[in-house]
């Protein structure tokens, strides 16, 4: 049997560290959401240019934009129920409730953009033109 390992999507090295794309301190409800996880190598995670490094802002923004784009695909309907949010994110009731309290609702329905903005810690990332 072959040893299985994960590959860092940034540099191609062995990925050994779990990273929360939207930090746990930013949106606690995403702490156990599998869509918010990415495995990185130690250099891309904690190195100088890694997401937690002093020069890691660009990489952090890139990963957040990828996560935001994924959310836009996952949440395909314009109006969402609490159940839609819970089931799509694969999170438990308590985190879903704490998340939904932060989102304006109309008759128990939540607008897709408001949900995504809340999941992105209140800030949608605009895609910049690559140079």
Query: For residue range 78-93, what is the model confidence (pLDDT) as tens digits?
Result: 999 999 999 999 999 9
Instruction: Using the predicted structure, report yes or no on whether residue 101 has a pLDDT greater than 90.
Output: yes
The answer to whether 74 touches 88, Cβ cutoff 8 Å, is yes
Q: How far is CA 93 from CA 48, 110, 112, in A?
A: 37, 16, 19
Instruction: Using the predicted structure, report yes or no on whether residue 129 has a pLDDT greater than 60.
Output: no
pTM, 2 dp: 0.89
**For 18-55, how does the pLDDT look when each residue is reduced to its tens digit (9 = 90+)?**
999 999 999 999 999 999 999 999 999 999 999 999 99
Instruction: Using the predicted structure, report yes or no on whether residue 130 has a pLDDT greater than 50.
Output: no
Lowest mean pLDDT among 46-50, 55-59, 92-96, 127-131: 127-131
In the chain, domain spans: 6-119
Q: Which pLDDT score is estimated for 126?
A: 87
Confidence band, pLDDT 50/70/90 cuts, at residue 5: confident
How many other CB atoms are found less than 10 A from the CB of residue 99?
23
Coil/strand/helix, residue 42? helix
């Amino acid at each position: 049997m072959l040893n299985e390992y994960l590959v860092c999507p940034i540099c191609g090295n062995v990925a050994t560290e779990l990273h929360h794309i939207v930090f746990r301190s930013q949106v606690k409800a995403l702490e156990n959401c599998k869509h918010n996880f990415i495995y990185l190598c130690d250099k891309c995670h904690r190195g100088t240019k890694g997401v937690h490094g002093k020069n890691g802002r660009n990489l952090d923004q890139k990963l957040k934009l990828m996560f935001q784009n994924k959310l836009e695909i996952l949440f395909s309907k314009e109006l969402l129920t609490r159940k839609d949010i819970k089931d799509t994110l694969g999170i438990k009731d308590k985190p879903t409730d704490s998340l939904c309290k932060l989102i304006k609702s109309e008759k128990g329905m939540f607008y897709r953009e408001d949900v995504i903005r809340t999941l992105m810690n209140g800030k949608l990332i605009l895609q910049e033109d690559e140079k």
